[in-house]
């Protein structure tokens, strides 16, 4: 995922026992703030034959519940059982609206309600359990408009009533504002939610805090993103955004992408995440 507006080698492999539990081994779905697990996400399903290779490095996978940004179809549809058979945990995603679609409070509330109902229906159709966390994909950075916050509050309320837990995928990259003030989208969302509880999956692939396209022997905890309450940190995006990754070590491929250690053919470019649970959405039950 990269709509937000470094060059040889793939990231280093680490022992499977430290990046993910061995394929087929059962694990707890709760979080462990002392240990981190690696996962991947991408807009296109990589294919059934890719899963055993990716499972050697990753404990969990992103899973779109509707078409990803810029797409009209969803290639992840119907693939839950294939991922389960390989022992993957899940990050459930649903595409959020752009600001220009939410110009009035009425439109924001209507679309927040519609998107929450559709995301819950898709999760149920795919067999994901109630109480699983569904992350609304927000790719705009900085301070969001009042209408966007109305959209998010409605999304959270309606999704909760439908039996699923709300989450957001959003920027943890500081944006400078006038007068020397900086803001992250995660902070801006948190300040406008009231008493609502939302789970945060943040992206920040600037170096530092990211190490660039790498799989460290001990994966960093999500709080290393600079957002202390983050449950998941996406520290690599493919292709890399050069404005944020200029100071990263030369760890990305020449095309700007990141690939799994076992992907010798460079067939599946990936975003890389770290989480305190091998099943961050609780989708394996």
pLDDT in tens, 52-87: 999 999 999 999 999 999 999 999 999 999 999 999
Confidence of residue 177 (pLDDT cuts 50, 70, 90): confident
Q: Does residue 209 register a pLDDT over 80?
A: yes
Closest CA to 227 of 278, 254, 189: 189
pTM for the model: 0.88
> Residue with structure tokens 């609206």?
97
Among 20-29, 47-56, 106-115, 252-261, whose mean pLDDT is lowest?
20-29
Average pLDDT across the chain, whole number: 88
Confidence of residue 28 (pLDDT cuts 50, 70, 90): very low
- Work out whether strand 232-236 and strand 165-171 pair parallel, antiparallel, or are unpaired: unpaired
Q: Where are the domains of the chain?
A: 37-275
Looking at the domain covering 37-275, what would its CATH class be?
alpha beta
pLDDT of residue 35: 87
Count the Cβ atoms, other than its own, within 10 Å of residue 100. 7
Question: What are residue 269's DSSP bridge partners?
Answer: 259
Among 22-31, 109-118, 164-173, whose mean pLDDT is lowest?
22-31
How far apart are alpha carbons 92 and 285 in whole angstroms?
Answer: 14
What contacts 283, CB < 8 A, 6 or more positions away?
63, 80, 89, 90, 92, 128, 129, 132
What contacts 260, CB < 8 A, 6 or more positions away?
10, 40, 53, 54, 56, 57, 58, 268, 270
Cis ω for the linkage preceding 77 (within 30 of 0): no
């Amino acid at each position: 995922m990269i709509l937000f507006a470094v060059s040889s080698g793939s990231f280093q492999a680490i022992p499977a026992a430290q990046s993910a539990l061995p394929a087929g081994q059962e694990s707890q779905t709760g979080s462990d703030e002392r240990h981190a697990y690696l996962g991947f996400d991408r807009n296109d399903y990589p294919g059934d034959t890719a899963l055993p290779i990716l499972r050697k490095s990753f404990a969990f996978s992103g899973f779109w519940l509707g078409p990803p940004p810029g797409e009209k179809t969803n290639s992840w549809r119907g693939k839950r059982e294939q991922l389960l058979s390989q022992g993957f945990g899940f990050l459930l995603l649903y595409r959020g609206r752009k600001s220009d679609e939410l110009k009035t409070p009425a439109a924001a509330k209507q679309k927040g309600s519609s998107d929450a109902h559709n995301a819950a229906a898709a999760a149920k159709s795919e067999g994901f359990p109630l109480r699983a966390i569904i992350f609304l994909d927000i790719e705009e950075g900085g301070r969001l408009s009042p209408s966007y916050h109305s959209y998010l509050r409605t999304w959270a309320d309606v999704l909760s009533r439908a039996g699923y837990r709300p989450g957001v995928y959003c920027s943890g990259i500081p944006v400078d504002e006038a007068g020397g003030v900086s803001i992250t989208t995660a902070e801006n969302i948190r300040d406008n939610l009231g008493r609502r509880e939302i789970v945060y999956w943040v992206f920040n692939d600037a170096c530092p805090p990211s190490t660039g396209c790498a799989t460290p022997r001990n994966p960093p905890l999500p709080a290393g993103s600079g957002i202390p309450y983050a449950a998941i940190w996406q520290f690599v995006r493919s292709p890399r955004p050069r404005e944020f990754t200029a100071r990263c070590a030369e760890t990305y491929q020449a095309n700007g992408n990141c690939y799994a250690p076992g992907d010798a053919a460079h067939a599946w470019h990936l975003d890389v995440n770290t989480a305190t649970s091998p099943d961050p959405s609780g989708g394996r039950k």
